[in-house]
Amino acid sequence: MFKLKYRQLSELNSGDYFGEVSLIDKVSRQWSVRCMEECHFAILSKEDFNNALGAIERKKYNEKI
């Protein structure tokens, strides 16, 4: 058996979100999220993401690359 190694890539706060890159790039990503305290999540479909945040996030993403 192998042992998983975890590495902190980011720390999110209330109101933050993650997973937008996979929606913008249309590519499946293989990341895990570990919570340090009780958390509540909302899940957006690609259509809802595009209607709510898609244009803003796509612009920010394109400016980074």
pLDDT digits (tens, 9 = 90+) for 4-48: 777 888 888 888 888 877 877 777 777 778 888 898 888 888 888
- Measured CA to CA in angstroms, residue 43 lies from 7, 19, 23, 35, 53 at distances of 24, 10, 12, 16, 13
User: 65: which residues sit within 8 A by CB, 6+ positions away?
Assistant: none
pLDDT at 1: 64
pLDDT for 59 equals 78
How many angstroms separate the Cα of 39 from the Cα of each of 12, 45, 49?
11, 20, 20
What is the model's pTM? 0.54
Q: Are 17 and 57 in contact (CB under 8 A)?
A: no
